[in-house]
Chain A
Amino acid sequence: MTTQHGGKALAEFVAEATEILDALGRDLLALDEARDQEADPERINGIFRAAHSLKGLSGLFGQERITQLAHAAEDLLDRLRLGRLTLDDQVLDALVDALDTFQSLLGETSRGEEGDDLTRRTRAMEERLARMGSPAPPVEEDPLERLELDAQVRAVFTEYEEHRLRENVRRGVALWRVRAAFDLTDFDQGLADLNARLKPLGEVISTLPSSRPGGATGIAFDLIFGAKVDAQALEAGLQGTPAELAPLVVRPPSGADVAPVLPPADAVAPRTKRGGKKKGTRARPLALEAGPLQPLLSADTGATTRDVPSETTSHGTPGLVALPTSGSAGPPRMRTVAGPSSTTLGLQSAASAPLPAGRPRPEETSLRSLTQTVRVDIGRLDGLINMVGELLLIKANLQRLAEASRQDGTVALSKLFGQELSRETRQLERKLEALQEGLLEARMVPVGQVFDKLARLVRRIAREAGKEIDFVSTGGEVELDKLIVEELSDPLMHLIRNAIDHGAEGPEARLSAGKPRRAVVRLRAEQKGNHVLISVSDDGSGIDEARVREVALSRGLVTPSQVSEMTRRELLNLIFLPGFSTRSSVSALSGRGVGLDVVKNNLGNLSGIIDVWSERGKGTAFHLTLPVTLAIVRALVVGVSGRTYAVPLNSVLEILAVQPHDIRTVERREVLDLRGQTLPFLRLGRLFHLPEREVNRHFVVVVGLAQQRLGIAVDELFGQQDIVTKPLGGRLSAVKGISGATDLGNRRTVLVLDVAELLEEGIAQERRRA
């Protein structure tokens, strides 16, 4: 198996690429949040690495378009991390848009498509990335040449590490070699601890392993470290670790009469002690002595070395200019390379990347993830394995009982035998329940997965809409079935987009309404029993129901007589009708319309319920109620005219007992009054053309999906049961009002009602009435 381009391999590619893009998205979000601060070099490097991995990965799978774009992105990020380009808003926006394009590309790939539109978009994106910034002005002197560091050491730096070292020298940061020896078995832990100590004190530029002082069971590392703090603070910070410190010497810029910036006076003075050790060893300049530096220097070369780096750098690295390196015979320049040149760099890149302010919004990308995989905590899997083990034990017991009963005469089928059998069965039942629960749990993922993606979106939408938004999300740890979480991302995106675009007012409007300048959009999840409630709310202007009425009438969605009877709540619910949009001109933001009908449909597919609350001037909230899982549902078993049906309990709101005289007929249609609201009423028997019985009372199962409600009349209620719905194949799948069949145990098969279709039926009757 030399090639692996089958479907499974493609799924793997999509899974890994998705992971890379997720990480990329998180890092970009972090950069976005800190726009006004200097970017963390490690973060930029992380993003670069992500683009780099994506390029390698897609290349491996022959995904040409992704490879090309990743190449362009990697190029841009390489320039960024190597300091040849400044991270400004334009660059960041371009990167965020590139991420969108990647996601679209991956979407097409996973569906096996390759659309021309997207290919063109990808090309344009590549060009945009390539246009960003301009080559840096030539650097007169490579500050690295001033660092007394053995060429052998420099030879193991990647281009990036070399750049970070150069940056540190340029900025006049005190550089140290931190040496520490560890046991081979747990050096990674030791290094992690050391890194954790060093991190707040500066930047770890490189980690070089060396076997020299370690012997067979040990290993030593030299960390090249740029310290933000002075020598004492560094020493104090490393107290108790095995680290030894040695300063790296940096010569002043050649020909300059600038005072030597580095290392700090107290570091050069032989005062530095090894952290944690009693015997004070003098700190020694690194490259000046051969003795203690064996692991860094090669022992077996005489090393005339200083040519090596200039040789290596003289090709392929435009930012590096090879200089005569012997001695300090650099060109006599008066200024350090720092300040002025980096300033020009910033100005240039800003000026040379003109982008129209009203750039087109990147096409809406679905936030739905493309992978079908669920990561399962190993602990959960272990639990499941244990349960299977226990089930095997029970099986063995049952087998023994069966064997005993088969052998005639040895055991009479006594009461005792029956008791034993029922005890085992109870055990079996309990374990199976636990197994079922465990498996369902394994499908659960935190909704936070989607929340993170949405947070990224909010910043962009808000920026484009010119709104100032504080996005607050809570309850990201609440778990839902993976499938539901996936399906949820698009509806939530619509709702949030609406909240920002239509709900929140601009800063000025808010101030004049006496509200704080920044609007708040909240996304909240909480678990309530077998349901999860998710709400999207804003503190904006609220929905104008008069306007809703007007629009619904003008679009012919309702008749004037219907509207005149409607309560405020019913009016608000009109916004869920297909083709409804309250804005007279569709803004660039919600280009495809408000799409609340789409939201409603999506939620309906998930057996979810959506409610809207809104108050003029105070804001709007959409409340989504979702079942925790779709795989196994609890159902209400009902009887109609002697037939049995199952109704998924997650769409059942309540059950009423009503007398026949409670049923009113309004315009030839039966309705019930439920706490002041009119509830459409449907006789299941009549719908399925079953012989109707005379009854003195009806049970009414009130069901709801999205914002619709319906009362379904049945004759009997049998109780609740967990069911797994199997679809009806072939012609039967077209039967209205039935979603499938299920086995109730006792080998009894019953039909499962399709609540969504029944609601449709209710609406259809209403339309006919109108």
Chain B
Amino acid sequence: MKFKVLIVEDSKVSREHIAATVEAVDGVEAVTTASGFEALKLLPRQRFDLIITDINMPDINGLELINFVKKNPNYRDVPLIIVTTEGREQDRSRGMALGAAGYLVKPFLPEDLEALLRRFLKPL
């Protein structure tokens, strides 16, 4: 059975880059969505082993998504990884304070993301 990773990122190129990096790891499948709203709709319908989310998005922000996931008994155990850009330390630290398991700073190396995947998806 494959691990399923939900990627929430509004930039198409970024999203596809993350998805490609995730899927390059054997045994991992990526599900992508461009908005927090879509993520909220997907959550009850599929089981995810990991969520990777951007912070600055148009409908709900990534912090709100993290908070939502962490407060909901059905999803609270799903680890979350934040993807942010350089210079947004405050948003990042808030995400971590809300219960995110890790973060990536764009632009990131595929190895960094892979290391995070291996840390949170076990046994991989």
Contacts and interface: CB of A to CB of B under 8 A. Distances in A.
A71 B90 CA distance: 17
Measured as residues with beta carbon below 8 angstroms from the partner, the interface class of chain B is 35 or more
A158 B63 contact: yes
A223 B100 CA distance: 23
B86 A312 contact: no
A155 B72 contact: no
A128 to B, nearest CB: 19
Given A1-B20, A2-B20, A16-B12, A158 B55 contact: yes
A36 B117 CA distance: 51
A188 interface: yes
B24 interface: yes
A184 interface: yes
B12 A71 contact: no
A4 B11 contact: no
B11 A209 contact: no
Interface string B21-40: 10010000000000011001
A210 interface: yes
Given A13-B13, A16-B11, A59-B85, A155 B24 contact: no
Contacts of B58: 49
Interface in A45-73: 49, 52-53, 55-57, 59-62, 67, 71
A211 B37 contact: no
A156 B94 contact: yes
A363 to B, nearest CB: 28
A686 B13 CA distance: 58
A259 interface: no
Interface in A207-241: 207-212, 216, 219
B123 interface: no
Interface string B94-107: 10011000000011
A316 interface: yes
B97 A312 contact: yes
Contact of B106 (A60, A74, A156, A191): A60
Measured as residues with beta carbon below 8 angstroms from the partner, the interface class of chain A is 35 or more
Contact of B44 (A1, A4, A157, A216): A216
A158 B11 contact: no
A56 B63 contact: no
Contact of B64 (A74, A209, A312): A209
Given A2-B21, A52-B85, A312-B94, A158 B61 contact: yes
Interface in B25-78: 36-37, 40-41, 44, 55-56, 58-61, 63-68, 71-72, 74
A210 B64 CA distance: 9
Interface in A289-324: 295, 298-299, 308, 312-313, 315-317
Name the residue among A2, A16, A49, A75 with the largest chain B CB count within 10 angstroms. A2
15 contacts: A1-B20, A2-B20, A55-B85, A56-B11, A59-B85, A60-B106, A75-B87, A155-B94, A155-B98, A156-B94, A158-B61, A187-B37, A207-B64, A208-B64, A315-B89
Given A59-B107, A295-B71, 5 more contacts: A2-B21, A71-B87, A155-B98, A159-B88, A212-B71
Interface of A: 1-4, 12-13, 16, 49, 52-53, 55-57, 59-62, 67, 71, 74-75, 78, 155-159, 161, 184-185, 187-188, 191, 206-212, 216, 219, 295, 298-299, 308, 312-313, 315-317
Top 5 nearest A-B pairs by Cβ distance? A59-B107, A2-B110, A156-B63, A156-B67, A209-B68
